[in-house]
Amino acid sequence: MLSITPLPALRDNYIWAIASGSEIVAVDPGQAGPVQHWLRAGNRSLAAILVTHHHPDHVGGVAELATTWDAPVYGPAHETIPHRDVALSAGDTCLLGKNFPVFQVLDIPGHTAGHIAYYCPGYLFCGDTLFSAGCGKLFEGTAAELYTSLGKLARLPGSTRVYPAHEYTVSNLRFARHVLPQEPALEENLASALKIRENRQPTLPTTIAREKCINLFLRPGDAAVKAAVEAMTGQKMETEAAVFAVLREWKDRF
């Protein structure tokens, strides 16, 4: 089992540090400082940097880390990533050395046009595409693209541990409870998440199985979700993709 540590950064980001012995791989380092401190405090070294997309809160620390540690940078082929050494697209594999697993690259556009994820059996690093109880905003892609991307992630094994890049669980569950106020699981999960955050602990990682229960963006075919969207819009939804698109807009206004 991988040793993975969340390094809080900026306002609500997590930089995921994947450790193997004294070497680590940093995922989406929006700041260099938290990584540098953690490396030096534990006498560790940086083996590589994985980037899911180009937003500044995911790449802000890449230049300093890459030059300080002479670490290769892996990132999406269809976006501009600072210091990128290896450009990755769907179907590629990410070889980080003998001490780390081989990651498969998934194309998951929607939040940005070239967003990718890193997956190996049991683990998913998905940047800003899938959050616990939520999904990313549409900055460059379309609702149809994000709907397809989330469907791709939802088909991964239920036991897959999911490592999103932001601590948004409480706000996402508040929205889900607003949409489906009669669903006990949402209230229970919100109460649990609030308690975790009161103790200054991360609510992540989550799992695919858990998200298929509490994440309404993975449930556009659910009769209750469809009914809530139709009641809000006063319109009949013909497809799951249409339900998803309205749900995403609703969350933006919430």
What's this model's pTM, rounded to 2 decimal places?
Answer: 0.97
pLDDT of 192: 98
Examine residue 148 and state whether it is found in any structural domain, yes or no.
Answer: yes
CATH number of residue 45's parent domain: 3.60.15.10
As annotated, the active-site residues are: 53, 55, 57-58, 111, 128, 166
What pLDDT sits at residue 98? 83
For residue 184, tell me if it sits in a domain: no
Write out the residue range of the structural domain in which residue 159 sits: 3-168+204-213
195 in any annotated domain? no
pLDDT of residue 97: 82
The predicted pLDDT at position 101 comes to: 93
Query: Is residue 158 in a domain?
Result: yes
Q: What is the mean pLDDT of each run of 10 residues along the chain (254 residues)?
A: 93 97 96 98 96 98 98 98 97 91 97 98 98 98 97 98 98 98 96 98 98 98 97 97 98 95
With respect to residue 80, please indicate whether it lies within any of the assigned structural domains: yes
Q: Let me know if residue 174 belongs to a domain.
A: no
Q: What is the 3-state secondary structure (H, E, C) of the chain?
A: CCEEEEEEECCCEEEEEEEECCEEEEECCCCCHHHHHHHHHCCCEEEEEECCCCCHHHHCCHHHHHHHHCCCEEEECCCCCCCCCEEECCCCEECCCCCCCCEEEEECCCCCCCCEEEEECCEEEEECCEECCEECCCCCCCHHHHHHHHHHHHCCCCCCEEEECECCHHHHHHHHHHHCCCCHHHHHHHHHHHHHHHCCCCCCCEEHHHHHHHCHHHCCCCHHHHHHHHHHHCCCCCCHHHHHHHHHHHHHHC
Q: Is 231 contained in some domain?
A: no
Which pLDDT value is given to residue 202?
98
Count of domains observed in the chain: 1
Please report the pLDDT score of residue 168 as a whole number. Answer: 98
61 part of a folded domain = yes
pLDDT recorded at residue 1: 72
pLDDT at residue 253, as a whole number = 94
